[in-house]
Chains A and B, each alone.
Chain A
Amino acid sequence: MADIMVDKAPEPVSSAALRRQMLKEFWFYFSENRGAVIGLFVFLLLVVVAVLAPLIAPHSPFEQYRDAVLVPPIWTEGGRAGYLLGTDPVGRDILSRLIYGAQYSLFIGVFVTTLSLTGGILVGLIAGYYRGWVDTVIMRLMDIILAFPSLLLALVLVAILGPSLTNGMIAIALTLQPHFVRLTRAAVMAEKTRDYVTAARLAGAGPLRLMFRTILPNCTAPLIVQATLSFSNAILDAAALGFLGMGAQPPAPEWGTMLAEAREFILRAWWVVTFPGLAILITVLAINLMGDGLRDALDPKLKRS
């Protein structure tokens, strides 16, 4: 009684082969987007740089070379061999600071995203699953958070909690969270009406099992995409907070803080602001491009054929 529609193509049997095939399929759709591949490579490079920072960096990020204050980059007039991208107003090597700064950026991205993702998923699941007044209360609260300009809200929170990188990250996570809540809620509401959820309910599954085992795994694709976008947002916001003096505190080589310290030298020494700015730009762009490709690969609605 075998179905005639069974494909003759060899089907993977072991779960390892299955995973390989799914990965292959993912890569096929992901790699169709060239920008995404470039973004991925830039991001991977960034990770490598961050991890190997102590080995790569030519100098310590904190060491102040009094004899080399505001040295321009090596290829311009007055550049010195030891300082590839020049030095800042107190004689620290900019390249080394940027390399160590990558550690900060990645840490901020991971921490903020994890925090807002878990919080958002939890709250969104509850709102989307129970609906009714619980949903109304939660969503209006999220609307209020969204009504503030996110940076302003983060500033207020930091002002209350006190300026430090940790508090800044918590504040940013809080402002990013409503996006996850909304996304999770929408996905949960859509999935909840599907027959497989009803079937699980008929099998006797309780609300917790339904929420976390049945529904949540099917809502991950949009969340992963949103997570990558938040990752870049978090880096950007943290840099902005740093620039305003409310995030990482000097002498930490955080990119936004570096910009802030260099503010007054913008006209005299272009390199002290250009390179941290470029680092932020490239990182955020790469992650956003990657997020685009992830959406192409994970969102079945966009899949062709």
Chain B
Amino acid sequence: MTENTMLEVRDIKRDYELPGGLFKPKKIIHAVKGVSFKLERGKTLAIVGESGCGKSTLARMITFIDEPTSGDLLIDGKKVDTRPGHLTQEMRQKVQIVFQNPYGSLNPRQKIGDVLGEPLAINTGMSAEERRHRANEMLKKVGLGPEHYNRYPHMFSGGQRQRIAIARALMMNPKLLVLDEPVSALDLSVQAQVLNLLADLQDEFGLTYVFISHDLSVVRYIADEVMVMYFGEAVEYGTRDEVFSDPKHEYTRTLFAATPRADIESIRARIARKNAAKAVA
């Protein structure tokens, strides 16, 4: 069991300090208040919550962008030294992230080929020819082609850019991919394609996903395990079926009730309610 754990987070916390002004004291904001979970290799954990619940901060800690205030982070069974400057190159390569906004996550002045080749150029002694080969291979894997190698990000649609961002994250063969709302900026039809791509890649590379989202229908589709966050705390954590069939926490139930439903029965019920209200009036 333990050797199959890809990621373990133990009581991780993150505080932000709001610098005080001349007349107001410093304020400390607890963005993440002690979250723990374990995630098996090849599985997907979805972290659900509304804006400001700390889910993105958690994602940034797992990807070593931000340093946790306290708590442990174990990847592949090894404890990670998250202090800046202490991170080994090997660790860094194991975890990669895909950001929410495909328009901000690609350098507008960098050709796609260079976007994909950059991690290789920095971390390996690969020749330019080899880098090009690897980049083209990865482009094919994410559903693009070698003809896209020399183009700039602005020539792509949002969905294609997200594919490129995924390709970049995969260039160093990571084991854990943190997906921070990867489809919430995308159109419905494109969202389906990107979700399918993520599923394909997970099968092919045996990737472990931490999937941050606010969209319950997407989470229900993609997740093995679900964690609901509310004001920095994990209020609900369990397998997908447990959480969706029997939510324990009040907030989770509110969240489910608030999600718009697009099935025919609920539309019928709504129209019936409306007609009834009209009849009364």
Q: Which residues of A contact B (CB under 8 A)?
A: 1-6, 11, 13-15, 18, 194-196, 198-205, 209, 214, 217-218
| A3, A198, A200, A218, most chain B CB atoms within 10 A | A3
CB neighbours (8 Å) of B99 from chain A are 195, 198-199
Determine if B104 and A1 form an interchain contact, defined as CB atoms under 8 angstroms apart: no
CB neighbours (8 Å) of A201 from chain B are 65
Q: Which residues of B contact A (CB under 8 A)?
A: 63-65, 89, 92, 96-97, 99, 101, 104-110, 118-119, 122-123, 143, 147, 150-152, 155, 157-160, 165, 168, 172, 187, 189-190, 193, 196-197
Q: List 21 A-B contacts (CB under 8 A).
A: A1-B143, A1-B196, A3-B193, A5-B189, A5-B190, A13-B150, A14-B150, A194-B104, A194-B105, A195-B105, A198-B99, A199-B105, A199-B168, A202-B63, A202-B65, A202-B92, A202-B97, A203-B172, A204-B119, A205-B122, A218-B107
CB neighbours (8 Å) of B187 from chain A are 5
Shortest distance from the beta carbon of A209 to any chain B beta carbon, whole Å? 7
CB neighbours (8 Å) of A204 from chain B are 89, 92, 119, 122-123
CB-CB nearest in chain A for B153:
A196
Shortest distance from the beta carbon of B171 to any chain A beta carbon, whole Å? 8
CB neighbours (8 Å) of B105 from chain A are 194-196, 199
Determine if B150 and A18 form an interchain contact, defined as CB atoms under 8 angstroms apart: yes
CB-CB nearest in chain B for A217:
B109
CB neighbours (8 Å) of B106 from chain A are 196, 199
Determine if A5 and B157 form an interchain contact, defined as CB atoms under 8 angstroms apart: yes
Q: Which of A14, A194, A203, A218 meets B122, CB within 8 Å?
A: A203
CB neighbours (8 Å) of B155 from chain A are 11
Given contacts A18-B150, A204-B89, 19 further A-B contacts (CB under 8 A): A4-B189, A4-B190, A5-B157, A5-B158, A13-B147, A18-B152, A194-B104, A195-B104, A196-B104, A196-B106, A196-B107, A199-B99, A200-B118, A203-B118, A203-B122, A205-B122, A214-B107, A217-B109, A218-B108
C-alpha gap A145/B253 in the complex (Å): 61
CB neighbours (8 Å) of A205 from chain B are 118, 122
CB neighbours (8 Å) of B189 from chain A are 4-5
C-alpha gap A56/B158 in the complex (Å): 55
C-alpha gap A205/B168 in the complex (Å): 14
Shortest distance from the beta carbon of A267 to any chain B beta carbon, whole Å? 56
CB neighbours (8 Å) of B151 from chain A are 11, 18
3 closest pairs, A vs B, by CB?
Answer: A195-B105, A217-B109, A203-B119
CB neighbours (8 Å) of B118 from chain A are 200, 203, 205
Shortest distance from the beta carbon of A220 to any chain B beta carbon, whole Å? 8
CB-CB nearest in chain A for B87:
A204
C-alpha gap A209/B151 in the complex (Å): 21
CB neighbours (8 Å) of A15 from chain B are 150
C-alpha gap A218/B108 in the complex (Å): 7
CB-CB nearest in chain A for B152:
A18
Q: A18-B150, A203-B119, A217-B109 are in contact. Are A3 and B160 (CB under 8 A)?
A: yes
Determine if A209 and B65 form an interchain contact, defined as CB atoms under 8 angstroms apart: no
CB neighbours (8 Å) of B165 from chain A are 199
C-alpha gap A11/B147 in the complex (Å): 10
CB neighbours (8 Å) of A2 from chain B are 143
| A195, A204, A205, A214, most chain B CB atoms within 10 A | A195
C-alpha gap A18/B190 in the complex (Å): 26
CB-CB nearest in chain B for A6:
B157
C-alpha gap A248/B157 in the complex (Å): 55
C-alpha gap A13/B111 in the complex (Å): 13
Q: A202-B65, A202-B96, A214-B107 are in contact. Are A3 and B119 (CB under 8 A)?
A: no
C-alpha gap A14/B151 in the complex (Å): 9
Shortest distance from the beta carbon of B188 to any chain A beta carbon, whole Å? 11
Q: Which of B122, B123, B158 meets A209, CB within 8 Å?
A: B122
CB-CB nearest in chain A for B180:
A195
CB neighbours (8 Å) of A5 from chain B are 157-159, 187, 189-190
CB neighbours (8 Å) of A209 from chain B are 122
CB neighbours (8 Å) of A217 from chain B are 107, 109-110
Shortest distance from the beta carbon of B214 to any chain A beta carbon, whole Å? 18
Shortest distance from the beta carbon of A158 to any chain B beta carbon, whole Å? 39
CB-CB nearest in chain B for A205:
B122
Shortest distance from the beta carbon of A305 to any chain B beta carbon, whole Å? 14
Determine if A3 and B92 form an interchain contact, defined as CB atoms under 8 angstroms apart: no
CB-CB nearest in chain B for A5:
B157
C-alpha gap A37/B122 in the complex (Å): 43
Determine if A203 and B65 form an interchain contact, defined as CB atoms under 8 angstroms apart: no
CB-CB nearest in chain A for B119:
A203
